[in-house]
């Protein structure tokens, strides 16, 4: 086809995904923190189509939201991949160009192979060689290499089942013939479904040959089961770790570090073993993340130090050279430059000023059982150990909170706040007590 032929992409996402055993649409299951449909949408967008149409089932509003602003068409009953294309073809009835049809459960389809298909002058189907092709359609070619037909696994003869050239499920064909060919599909097969795989055969009867364009797979092809979902996760993590290391991140044991599709890194970041980084996280230059830390939705600024055993929750910012240590949870909070919360603390809905030190065991109690409240702690504040700060509270710059205080009123700058029972010392009391107890014990033994 000529370069300026318009392109439309149809993505099939209406399947029940019954092999997943899930209440959730299959394409909404996540790989590296992102629904699999969104991996595919990104690839589709890179191909610069005029339109992307996603076929969904009724009650799949979450899929519609995930693919917005792209158009969704509804397949009312899930009668097979061929039937699924029909509502999209209806939406494209005035479109004169190429149509690329993709399967929504194949998040890692190779864009280069799709480009080859689009550039190919005529119909094409993507094929992949699989060592274990069970479950996939087999590609049968003519002697000249063009497609003869595709046989679904369930319809294969013993001989056909041994073929390892498989149907990847992606097709490129001229839009103007699509509806006509779809109309000729039958459901006379093992699953009583309208198979899209029968379309090339119908096209051939109409005088159109289909080229077979081979691609590579980085994991077992497509996600039909939880096992295959885990295989895709494994493949995604390997790639993400490699990209991170290429971008200047050191990982002591990469296989134990879990990243998200959108994790951003600066240079000279060091990540110890057993670290999980969820979506929407940015980690800047020279940050060290110690073992067993969990970070999501956070910005970790330059030279900061996290963990070991730290949890940083969404909408948090750990400022430059700030430090969050073991068993500390930070939630919707900002630690400004050089602030420290190194041991066993909860920091929720708070702003912690520059160089402020949060002592061991400090709890910022942000929730009154109904509402969340904010705490603002100024610069250079010293919060003594085991303090409870009942939000909302403001603590001025350079204040000192005495250890074990329960702070429920604002503290002015430079003040010392103490809110605990005063200590009493009773001189000589300990030896008198011991003598008394010794006498009592002896009496008990004599009785
Ligand atoms: C399909 C192909 C198979 C190929 C494999 C590659 C058919 C008949 N078989 O099999 O040759 O090797 O993909 O991954 O096409 N869907 C709908 N509506 C439906 C049924 C499915 O939208 O009624 C969607 C699903 O959401 C899914 C995609 O189409 O995203 C593929 O459906 P699936 O049932 O997974 O097909 P496979 O059995 O994997
Ligand atoms: Ca599939």
The residues, ordered by sequence, that sit 6+ positions from 62 with a Cβ below 8 Å of its Cβ are: 24, 25, 28
- Residue pair 288/250 in contact (Cβ under 8 Å)? The answer is no
Task: Report all structural domains of the chain as residue ranges with CATH numbers, in order of start.
Answer: 7-215 (3.90.550.10), 247-331 (2.160.10.10), 335-423 (2.160.10.10)
Please give the backbone phi and psi of residue 306, each rounded to the nearest 5 degrees, phi first.
-125, 135
**Cα distance between residue 226 and residue 232, in whole Å:** 10
Q: And the tokens for 400?
A: 């000192």
Which pLDDT tens digits describe the chain residue by residue (447 residues)?
446 899 999 999 999 889 999 999 999 999 999 999 999 999 999 999 999 999 999 999 999 999 999 999 999 999 999 999 999 999 999 999 999 999 999 999 999 999 999 999 899 999 999 999 999 999 999 999 999 999 999 999 999 999 999 999 999 999 999 999 999 999 998 889 999 999 999 999 999 999 999 999 888 899 999 999 999 999 999 999 999 999 999 999 999 999 999 999 999 999 999 999 999 999 999 999 999 999 999 999 999 999 999 999 999 999 999 999 999 999 999 999 999 999 999 999 999 999 999 999 999 999 999 999 999 999 999 999 999 999 999 999 999 999 999 999 999 999 999 999 999 999 999 999 999 999 999 999 998
- Residue pair 87/12 in contact (Cβ under 8 Å)? The answer is no
Q: And the tokens for 148?
A: 């003869």
Ligand nearest to C-alpha 53? 1
Stated pTM of the model: 0.94
**What distance in angstroms lies between residue 69's CA and the mean position of ligand 2's atoms?**
25
**What distance in angstroms lies between residue 224's CA and the mean position of ligand 2's atoms?**
5
Helix (H, G, I), strand (E, B) or coil at 200: helix
Ligand nearest to C-alpha 166? 1
Element (DSSP H or E) covering residue 234 = helix 226-246
Please give the backbone phi and psi of residue 124, each rounded to the nearest 5 degrees, phi first.
-150, 155
Nearest CA to ligand 1 atom 10: 136
CA distances to 235, 256, 273 from 261, rounded to whole Å, are: 12, 16, 19
**CA of 152, closest atom in ligand 1:** 11
Residues with CB under 6 A from ligand 1: 12-15, 26, 55, 75, 78-81, 83-84, 103-106, 136-137, 150, 152, 166-169, 195-197, 221-222, 224
Q: And the tokens for 1?
A: 């086809």
Helix (H, G, I), strand (E, B) or coil at 90: helix
Question: Helix axis angle, 36-46 relative to 111-119, nearest 10°?
Answer: 40
Neighbour order of strands in the sheet with 294-295: 257-258, 275-277, 294-295, 311-312, 329-331, 346-348, 363-365, 388-390, 406-407
Please give the backbone phi and psi of residue 287, each rounded to the nearest 5 degrees, phi first.
-80, 140
Ligand nearest to C-alpha 167? 1
- Residue pair 125/139 in contact (Cβ under 8 Å)? The answer is yes
Report the catalytic residues. 343
**Cα distance between residue 35 and residue 405, in whole Å:** 46
- Residue pair 123/100 in contact (Cβ under 8 Å)? The answer is no
**CA of 195, closest atom in ligand 1:** 8
Helices (H), 30-132: 36-46, 61-67, 81-91, 111-119
């Amino acid at each position: 086809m000529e370069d300026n032929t318009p392109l439309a992409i149809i993505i099939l996402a209406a399947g029940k995904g019954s092999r997943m055993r899930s209440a959730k649409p299959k394409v909404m299951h996540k790989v590296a923190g992102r629904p699999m449909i969104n991996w595919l949408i990104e690839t589709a967008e890179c191909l610069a189509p005029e339109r992307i149409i996603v076929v969904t089932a009724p009650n799949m509003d979450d899929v519609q939201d995930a693919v917005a602003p792209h158009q969704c068409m509804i397949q009312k009953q899930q009668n097979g991949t061929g039937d699924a294309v029909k509502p999209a073809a209806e939406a494209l009835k005035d479109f004169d160009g190429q149509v690329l049809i993709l399967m929504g459960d194949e998040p890692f389809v190779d864009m280069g192979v799709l480009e080859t298909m689009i550039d190919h002058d005529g119909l094409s189907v993507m094929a992949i060689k699989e060592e274990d092709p069970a479950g996939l359609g087999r590609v049968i070619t003519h002697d000249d290499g063009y497609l003869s037909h595709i046989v679904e696994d369930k319809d294969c003869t013993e001989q056909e089942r041994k073929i390892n050239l498989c149907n990847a499920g992606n097709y490129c064909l001229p839009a103007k013939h699509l509806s006509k060919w779809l109309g000729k599909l039958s459901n006379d097969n093992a699953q009583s479904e309208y198979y899209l795989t029968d379309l090339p055969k119908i096209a051939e009867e109409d005088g159109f040959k289909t080229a077979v364009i081979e691609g590579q797979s980085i994991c077992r092809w497509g996600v039909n089961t939880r096992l295959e979902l885990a295989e895709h996760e494994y493949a995604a993590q390997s790639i993400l770790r490699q990209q991170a290391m290429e971008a200047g991140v050191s990982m002591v044991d990469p296989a134990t570090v879990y990243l998200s599709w959108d994790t951003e890194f600066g240079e000279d970041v060091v990540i110890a073993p057993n670290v999980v980084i969820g979506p929407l996280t940015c980690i800047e230059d020279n940050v060290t993340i110690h073992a067993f830390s969990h970070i999501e939705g956070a910005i970790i600024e330059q030279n900061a130090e996290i963990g070991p055993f730290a949890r940083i929750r969404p909408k948090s910012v750990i400022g430059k050279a700030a430090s969050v240590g073991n068993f500390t949870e930070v939630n919707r909070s900002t630690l400004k430059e050089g602030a420290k919360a190194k041991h066993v603390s909860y920091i929720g809905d708070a702003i912690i000023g520059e160089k402020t030190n949060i002592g061991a065991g400090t709890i910022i109690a942000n929730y009154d059982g109904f509402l969340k409240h904010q705490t603002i702690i100024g610069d250079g504040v010293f919060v003594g150990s085991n303090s409870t700060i009942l939000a909302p509270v403001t603590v001025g710059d350079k204040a000192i909170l005495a250890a074990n205080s329960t702070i429920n009123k604002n503290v002015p700058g430079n003040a010392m706040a103490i809110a605990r029972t005063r200590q009493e010392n009773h001189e000589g009391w300990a030896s008198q007590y011991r003598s008394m107890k010794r006498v009592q014990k002896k009496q008990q033994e004599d009785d």
